[in-house]
Amino acid sequence: MLPDRAFFDRLAEAARKETLPRFRAGADVVNKEAAGFDPVTEGDRAAELAIRALIEQHFPEHGILGEEHGSVGLDREYVWVIDPIDGTRAFISGVPVWGTLIGLYRNGEAVMGVIDQPFTGERYFADGKASHYAGPDGSKVLSTRSCNSLSDAILFTTSPHLFTESRKTRFEAVQEKVRLFRYGVDCYAYALLAAGHIDLVVECGLKPYDVGGLIPVIEQAGGIITAWDGGPAEMGGEIIAAGNRKVYDEAMALLKA
Protein backbone atom coordinates (compact mmCIF):
# COMPACT_ATOMS: atom_id res chain seq x y z
CA MET A 1 0.00 0.00 0.00
CA LEU A 2 1.24 3.45 -0.95
CA PRO A 3 1.00 6.38 1.46
CA ASP A 4 -1.37 9.23 0.65
CA ARG A 5 -0.82 12.96 0.60
CA ALA A 6 -2.01 13.28 4.18
CA PHE A 7 0.77 11.00 5.36
CA PHE A 8 3.42 13.00 3.53
CA ASP A 9 1.96 16.11 5.15
CA ARG A 10 2.29 14.44 8.56
CA LEU A 11 5.95 13.67 7.84
CA ALA A 12 6.65 17.22 6.74
CA GLU A 13 4.87 18.70 9.76
CA ALA A 14 6.76 16.41 12.14
CA ALA A 15 10.05 17.56 10.64
CA ARG A 16 8.97 21.21 10.67
CA LYS A 17 8.31 21.06 14.43
CA GLU A 18 11.97 20.10 14.92
CA THR A 19 13.61 22.41 12.40
CA LEU A 20 11.74 25.71 12.40
CA PRO A 21 12.14 26.52 16.13
CA ARG A 22 15.90 26.00 15.74
CA PHE A 23 16.24 28.26 12.70
CA ARG A 24 18.00 31.56 13.46
CA ALA A 25 18.20 30.42 17.08
CA GLY A 26 21.93 29.69 17.34
CA ALA A 27 22.00 26.13 16.04
CA ASP A 28 24.54 23.77 17.58
CA VAL A 29 26.72 22.80 14.60
CA VAL A 30 28.91 19.71 14.30
CA ASN A 31 31.29 19.16 11.38
CA LYS A 32 31.01 15.66 9.91
CA GLU A 33 33.99 15.94 7.56
CA ALA A 34 37.54 16.04 8.95
CA ALA A 35 39.09 17.31 5.71
CA GLY A 36 36.44 19.95 4.98
CA PHE A 37 33.16 21.32 6.29
CA ASP A 38 30.00 19.19 6.20
CA PRO A 39 27.78 20.61 8.94
CA VAL A 40 24.98 18.87 10.82
CA THR A 41 22.74 20.36 13.49
CA GLU A 42 20.46 19.00 16.19
CA GLY A 43 17.63 20.05 13.91
CA ASP A 44 18.84 17.64 11.21
CA ARG A 45 19.02 14.74 13.65
CA ALA A 46 15.75 15.44 15.46
CA ALA A 47 13.78 15.98 12.24
CA GLU A 48 15.01 12.72 10.73
CA LEU A 49 14.11 10.82 13.90
CA ALA A 50 10.61 12.29 13.80
CA ILE A 51 10.15 11.27 10.16
CA ARG A 52 11.53 7.78 10.73
CA ALA A 53 9.30 7.19 13.75
CA LEU A 54 6.15 7.79 11.69
CA ILE A 55 7.37 5.61 8.81
CA GLU A 56 8.33 2.78 11.15
CA GLN A 57 4.93 2.99 12.85
CA HIS A 58 2.77 3.04 9.72
CA PHE A 59 4.95 1.30 7.10
CA PRO A 60 7.22 -1.08 9.03
CA GLU A 61 7.75 -3.20 5.92
CA HIS A 62 9.43 -0.30 4.08
CA GLY A 63 13.15 0.44 4.03
CA ILE A 64 14.70 3.78 4.98
CA LEU A 65 17.74 5.60 3.60
CA GLY A 66 18.51 8.54 5.85
CA GLU A 67 21.29 11.11 5.92
CA GLU A 68 21.82 11.27 9.67
CA HIS A 69 20.74 7.95 11.18
CA GLY A 70 21.81 5.29 8.70
CA SER A 71 19.83 2.97 6.49
CA VAL A 72 17.76 -0.17 6.85
CA GLY A 73 16.10 -2.48 4.35
CA LEU A 74 17.55 -0.98 1.19
CA ASP A 75 16.70 -4.19 -0.70
CA ARG A 76 12.97 -3.86 0.01
CA GLU A 77 10.39 -2.93 -2.63
CA TYR A 78 9.69 0.45 -1.04
CA VAL A 79 12.44 2.61 0.43
CA TRP A 80 12.05 6.09 1.94
CA VAL A 81 14.85 8.54 1.20
CA ILE A 82 15.18 11.34 3.77
CA ASP A 83 17.11 14.60 3.89
CA PRO A 84 15.82 16.34 7.02
CA ILE A 85 17.51 19.65 6.21
CA ASP A 86 18.69 20.07 2.65
CA GLY A 87 20.80 23.21 2.73
CA THR A 88 22.26 22.95 6.23
CA ARG A 89 24.82 25.64 5.34
CA ALA A 90 21.94 27.98 4.52
CA PHE A 91 20.15 26.92 7.71
CA ILE A 92 23.07 27.77 9.99
CA SER A 93 23.60 31.04 8.09
CA GLY A 94 20.02 32.22 8.60
CA VAL A 95 19.17 32.02 4.90
CA PRO A 96 15.58 30.76 4.34
CA VAL A 97 16.13 28.52 1.31
CA TRP A 98 16.71 25.21 3.14
CA GLY A 99 14.04 22.53 3.06
CA THR A 100 13.06 19.01 4.03
CA LEU A 101 13.17 16.36 1.30
CA ILE A 102 11.29 13.07 1.60
CA GLY A 103 11.13 10.65 -1.31
CA LEU A 104 9.66 7.19 -1.76
CA TYR A 105 11.40 4.73 -4.09
CA ARG A 106 9.76 1.63 -5.52
CA ASN A 107 12.30 -0.90 -6.75
CA GLY A 108 14.88 1.86 -7.00
CA GLU A 109 12.68 4.37 -8.86
CA ALA A 110 11.46 7.57 -7.19
CA VAL A 111 7.66 7.55 -7.36
CA MET A 112 6.46 10.02 -4.70
CA GLY A 113 8.10 12.93 -2.93
CA VAL A 114 7.82 16.19 -1.06
CA ILE A 115 9.90 19.36 -0.87
CA ASP A 116 8.88 21.28 2.24
CA GLN A 117 9.99 24.87 2.90
CA PRO A 118 9.12 25.43 6.57
CA PHE A 119 10.10 29.11 6.79
CA THR A 120 8.24 30.24 3.69
CA GLY A 121 5.33 27.89 4.31
CA GLU A 122 5.55 26.31 0.85
CA ARG A 123 5.13 22.62 0.09
CA TYR A 124 5.72 20.86 -3.25
CA PHE A 125 4.31 17.33 -3.46
CA ALA A 126 4.31 14.60 -6.11
CA ASP A 127 1.59 12.00 -5.67
CA GLY A 128 2.69 9.53 -8.34
CA LYS A 129 0.83 11.21 -11.19
CA ALA A 130 1.07 14.99 -10.77
CA SER A 131 2.95 17.59 -8.74
CA HIS A 132 1.16 20.03 -6.48
CA TYR A 133 1.96 23.28 -4.69
CA ALA A 134 0.48 24.62 -1.47
CA GLY A 135 1.64 27.86 0.12
CA PRO A 136 0.79 31.41 1.17
CA ASP A 137 -0.45 32.22 -2.34
CA GLY A 138 -2.82 29.27 -2.56
CA SER A 139 -2.72 25.83 -4.15
CA LYS A 140 -2.17 24.66 -7.71
CA VAL A 141 -1.01 21.81 -9.91
CA LEU A 142 2.61 22.38 -10.95
CA SER A 143 3.86 22.54 -14.50
CA THR A 144 7.31 23.34 -15.85
CA ARG A 145 7.48 26.11 -18.44
CA SER A 146 8.47 25.99 -22.07
CA CYS A 147 11.80 27.48 -23.10
CA ASN A 148 12.86 27.69 -26.72
CA SER A 149 16.61 27.34 -26.26
CA LEU A 150 19.45 27.22 -23.78
CA SER A 151 20.20 30.85 -24.61
CA ASP A 152 16.80 31.81 -23.16
CA ALA A 153 17.18 29.69 -20.02
CA ILE A 154 17.64 30.57 -16.36
CA LEU A 155 20.19 28.29 -14.67
CA PHE A 156 20.71 27.60 -10.99
CA THR A 157 23.40 25.70 -9.09
CA THR A 158 24.25 25.61 -5.40
CA SER A 159 27.84 26.79 -5.93
CA PRO A 160 30.17 26.89 -8.96
CA HIS A 161 33.04 26.10 -6.59
CA LEU A 162 31.77 22.53 -6.16
CA PHE A 163 32.72 21.68 -9.74
CA THR A 164 36.30 20.45 -10.21
CA GLU A 165 38.51 19.36 -13.11
CA SER A 166 36.54 18.43 -16.24
CA ARG A 167 33.22 18.91 -14.45
CA LYS A 168 34.08 22.57 -13.96
CA THR A 169 34.84 23.04 -17.66
CA ARG A 170 31.62 21.37 -18.73
CA PHE A 171 29.48 23.28 -16.26
CA GLU A 172 31.01 26.58 -17.36
CA ALA A 173 30.25 25.71 -20.99
CA VAL A 174 26.57 25.47 -20.05
CA GLN A 175 26.68 28.59 -17.90
CA GLU A 176 28.16 30.62 -20.76
CA LYS A 177 25.15 29.80 -22.97
CA VAL A 178 22.26 30.71 -20.65
CA ARG A 179 20.48 34.03 -20.34
CA LEU A 180 20.76 34.23 -16.55
CA PHE A 181 22.47 32.19 -13.83
CA ARG A 182 22.08 32.31 -10.07
CA TYR A 183 23.71 30.48 -7.15
CA GLY A 184 22.99 29.20 -3.69
CA VAL A 185 19.37 28.14 -3.15
CA ASP A 186 19.87 24.38 -2.63
CA CYS A 187 16.68 22.33 -3.02
CA TYR A 188 14.59 25.45 -3.60
CA ALA A 189 16.04 25.70 -7.12
CA TYR A 190 14.39 22.40 -8.04
CA ALA A 191 11.09 23.56 -6.58
CA LEU A 192 11.29 26.74 -8.68
CA LEU A 193 11.95 24.62 -11.76
CA ALA A 194 8.93 22.41 -11.10
CA ALA A 195 6.80 25.52 -10.58
CA GLY A 196 7.83 26.98 -13.95
CA HIS A 197 9.96 29.89 -12.71
CA ILE A 198 13.37 28.68 -13.97
CA ASP A 199 14.56 26.25 -16.64
CA LEU A 200 17.71 24.40 -15.57
CA VAL A 201 19.58 23.13 -12.51
CA VAL A 202 23.05 21.59 -12.82
CA GLU A 203 24.83 20.06 -9.81
CA CYS A 204 27.56 17.60 -8.87
CA GLY A 205 28.50 15.47 -5.89
CA LEU A 206 24.95 14.79 -4.75
CA LYS A 207 23.91 11.88 -2.54
CA PRO A 208 20.67 9.88 -2.94
CA TYR A 209 19.02 11.79 -0.11
CA ASP A 210 19.81 15.08 -1.91
CA VAL A 211 17.61 14.07 -4.86
CA GLY A 212 15.16 11.43 -3.63
CA GLY A 213 12.39 13.86 -2.80
CA LEU A 214 13.09 16.10 -5.80
CA ILE A 215 12.88 13.64 -8.66
CA PRO A 216 9.12 12.92 -8.56
CA VAL A 217 8.23 16.60 -8.09
CA ILE A 218 10.17 17.56 -11.21
CA GLU A 219 9.15 14.63 -13.39
CA GLN A 220 5.45 14.79 -12.49
CA ALA A 221 5.46 18.52 -13.28
CA GLY A 222 6.68 17.71 -16.80
CA GLY A 223 10.42 18.15 -16.29
CA ILE A 224 13.43 15.92 -16.82
CA ILE A 225 16.06 14.97 -14.24
CA THR A 226 18.95 12.57 -14.88
CA ALA A 227 22.63 12.05 -14.26
CA TRP A 228 25.03 13.77 -16.65
CA ASP A 229 25.48 10.48 -18.51
CA GLY A 230 21.74 10.28 -19.13
CA GLY A 231 21.18 7.56 -16.55
CA PRO A 232 18.78 7.65 -13.58
CA ALA A 233 19.22 10.38 -10.97
CA GLU A 234 18.09 8.28 -8.00
CA MET A 235 21.59 7.56 -6.67
CA GLY A 236 22.82 11.14 -7.00
CA GLY A 237 26.21 12.12 -8.43
CA GLU A 238 26.32 14.66 -11.27
CA ILE A 239 22.72 15.80 -11.83
CA ILE A 240 20.89 17.87 -14.43
CA ALA A 241 17.25 18.93 -14.16
CA ALA A 242 15.46 20.76 -16.95
CA GLY A 243 11.97 22.03 -17.54
CA ASN A 244 11.73 20.66 -21.07
CA ARG A 245 13.48 18.40 -23.57
CA LYS A 246 14.87 21.23 -25.73
CA VAL A 247 16.87 22.82 -22.91
CA TYR A 248 17.86 19.41 -21.55
CA ASP A 249 19.26 18.23 -24.88
CA GLU A 250 21.26 21.42 -25.47
CA ALA A 251 22.74 21.35 -21.97
CA MET A 252 23.49 17.64 -22.12
CA ALA A 253 25.44 18.09 -25.35
CA LEU A 254 27.83 20.32 -23.40
CA LEU A 255 27.92 18.29 -20.19
CA LYS A 256 28.73 15.05 -22.04
CA ALA A 257 31.39 16.64 -24.24
**Local confidence band at 31 (pLDDT 50, 70, 90 cut-offs):** low
Q: Which helix (H) or strand (E) holds 86?
A: strand 78-86
List of residues 6+ apart from 13 with CB closer than 8 A = none
What pLDDT sits at residue 132?
A: 98
**b/e for 210-225, b at 16 or more Cβ within 10 A?**
bbbbbbbbbbbbbbbb
pLDDT at 35: 52
The model carries a pTM of: 0.94
pLDDT of amino acid 78: 98
Query: Which domains are assigned to the chain?
Result: 5-141 (3.30.540.10), 150-255 (3.40.190.80)
> Does an H or E element contain 126, and which?
strand 122-126
